[in-house]
Amino acid sequence: ADEFKKLQDEVPPFPVNEAKKIIEEELKLPVGNILSHFDETPIAAASIAQVHRATLFDGADVVVKIQRPDIGAQIETDINILSYIARLLDKYLPESRFFNPIGIVEEFSRTVRKELNFVEEARSCVKFRKNFENRPEIYFPRIYSEFVTEKVLVMERVDGVRIDNIAAIDKLGIDRKKIAKAGIDAYFKQILEDGFFHADPHPGNILVMPSGVIAFLDFGIVGRVSDELKETMANTFIALIEKDFDRLIDQYVELGIVPEHIDIESFKREFKADIVDILEPLYGLTLQEINFAQYLDTITHLAIKHNLRIPSDLLLINKAM
pLDDT tens-digit map of 35-69? 999 999 999 888 899 999 999 999 999 999 999 99
Buried residues in 162-187 as b, exposed as e (16+ CB within 10 A):
bbeeeeebeeeebeeeebeebbeebe
Greatest mean pLDDT among 4-8, 61-65, 248-252 lies in 61-65
Q: In the annotation, is 200 catalytic?
A: yes
Name the 3-class secondary structure at 14. coil
What is the rounded average pLDDT for all residues in the chain?
92
Examine the pLDDT at 318 and tell me if it is beyond 90: no
73 phi/psi in degrees, rounded to 5: -65, -40
Question: pTM for the complete prediction?
Answer: 0.87
> Phi/psi at 35 (nearest 5 deg)?
-125, 135
Give 253's pLDDT tier (boundaries 50, 70, 90): confident
Among the options 2, 170, 200, 297, which is catalytic?
200
The tens digit of pLDDT for each residue in 118-144 reads: 999 999 999 999 999 999 999 999 999
**DSSP H helices in 28-70:** 31-34
